[in-house]
Structure 1
Amino acid sequence: METTLSNGLKYRRILLKLSGEALAQENGFGIDPNCVRAIAQRIKQVREMNVDVAVVIGAGNLWRGRVGQNSGMDPATADYMGMLATVMNALALMDALESMNVVTRVQSAIEMHSVAEPYIRRRAIRHLEKGRVVILGGGTGNPYFTTDTAAALRATELKCDVLIKATKVDGVYDSDPKKNPNARRFEHITYMDALNQRLAVMDSTALSLCMDNKMPILVLNLWDETALIRALKGEPVGTLVSD
């Protein structure tokens, strides 16, 4: 049964999972300041609705561990490089948010005191309670885990109401909508069906973690300027993955 908060919103605290490519230039690499500002503006709008916001960002715009592994690099080393790249993205987004007067903290699972706080769960929760945006870099701090898994873990630890996976498509489809014009979009799908059908929602570890902890996942198009706001109001947007 769906519930609505006293302020008319469906969610009080969200974790927003962004891919590194969301910050990228047109070629899919690097950091485009215009894209970063656009994302920061979306987050600012959410904060102005008094919704707590935690963010996990990938690193595909700066480094892909699979590329390193394919060239013979040690897998753990390649993953650690990716974790460091997520902190670079986190700092870029923090700078854009603070230029808009949104108080922001970056926490990293890999300690680097000069640029970010260490990730401490209770401190992160306190920041959220004070209305600060918390950007969580460094993945889980361990190799062999994706930022999808980091997002599932942090969403659970920080007692978020939903994990919102922001993409460039408007939900989860039964096949690639770019290749199949008849691809069907799901409005709702269960965790188990998403796992069994190997749908491109999140990796299996992240999906299983969300399933075990009953953390709903909402997949939506961040580049639709109204999608995130409508989702917070409980309107049917994107694809909901839950029990």
Structure 2
Amino acid sequence: MSAAKYKRVVLKLSGEALAGTKGYGIDPVIVDTIAREIKGIKAAGLDLAIVVGGGNIWRGLAGSAKGMDRATADYMGMLATVMNSLALQDALENYDVDTRVQSAIEMRQVAEPYIRRRAIRHLEKGRVIIFAAGTGNPYFSTDTTAALRAAEIEADVILMAKKNTDGVYDSDPRHNPDAKKFKELEYIEVLQRGLGVMDATATSLCMDNKIPIIVFSIDEPGNILKVALGEDIGTVVGGRK
């Protein structure tokens, strides 16, 4: 196995990544596949934290668009991320990967409360941390959670696992066969061109804290481990460390 390029990484998974072909709900086979790759990351000696979205169960923006109070809709989305986090924790522990879920919304029966120093201590002890319930505040996405937690735990990089794309393009390659894929981008380019790597708040946080973002495809088996080990795949925002 190649020597790891990074020491501490944050893996950002969309909720849809856990849903499989149906596009909604939790597919245990897909979750198991992701857990196997994560076990490989731990075997390489990396500190790993994970942020998972909840779009396979509920999207706050979708509820708000249909007349629901935005804050209420967003809190429901945060609870969806907790469900995904528990499913991923269960799959990881089936592979003997010591895992802790930390929730930004206190729910002690199912998860620890998020405490930065405790999270860092878990990482130092070789445990995987899954950050659930977003930032605990409405109006913030799980992309922003990934950027915030990466800064707090002093991560080397954020790995953005995407479905149906292998990087960042100047237009949608599904509709434009001539779409150009970027190998590297600066944060300001992402913001100015509205390329949708992360939302603007998350991108700005990464820019301010000089945290590189690597966008890659989760559809290709083994890609999570490859990008964690520093293989040259996907699109890098902010430069490779």
Measured against the shorter chain, the TM-score band is: over 0.9
Deviates most, 21-30 or 211-220:
21-30
Aligned position for 1:185:
181
Q: Which of 108, 127, 143 lines up with 1:113 in the alignment? A: 108
SS, match of residue 205 in structure 1: helix
Distance 1:182 1:51 in 2: 37
Q: Which of 96, 120, 123 lines up with 1:125 in the alignment? A: 120
Aligned position for 2:237:
241
Distance 1:11 1:104 in 2: 20
Residue 19 of structure 2 is aligned to residue 44 of structure 1: no
Give TM-score, length-normalised by structure 2. Answer: 0.95
Q: CA deviation at 1:181?
A: 1.1
SS, match of residue 22 in structure 2: coil
Code of the residue aligned with 1:190 in structure 2: it is E
Distance 1:95 1:235 in 2: 28
SS, match of residue 91 in structure 2: helix
Q: Which of 214, 221, 228 lines up with 2:224 in the alignment? A: 228
Distance 2:18 2:135 in 1: 21
Aligned position for 2:205:
209
Q: CA deviation at 1:66?
A: 1.8
Aligned position for 1:21:
16
Distance 1:19 1:226 in 2: 17
Code of the residue aligned with 1:11 in structure 2: it is Y
Q: Which of 173, 184, 187 lines up with 2:169 in the alignment? A: 173
Residue 58 of structure 2 is aligned to residue 63 of structure 1: yes
Residue 68 of structure 2 is aligned to residue 73 of structure 1: yes
Aligned position for 1:4:
none
Q: What CA deviation, in whole Å up to 9, does each residue of 1:32-61 have, x standing for no partner?
A: 101110111111110010111100000000
Q: CA deviation at 1:10?
A: 1.4
Q: CA deviation at 1:240?
A: 0.5
Code of the residue aligned with 1:61 in structure 2: it is N
Distance 1:63 1:111 in 2: 20
Code of the residue aligned with 2:45 in structure 1: it is N
Q: CA deviation at 1:214?
A: 0.5
The share of aligned pairs that are identical, in percent, is: 59
Count of paired positions: 237
Distance 2:65 2:22 in 1: 21
Residue 90 of structure 2 is aligned to residue 91 of structure 1: no
Residue 177 of structure 2 is aligned to residue 197 of structure 1: no
Q: CA deviation at 1:223?
A: 2.5
Consecutive unaligned residues in structure 2, runs of 5 or more: none
Distance 1:220 1:71 in 2: 32
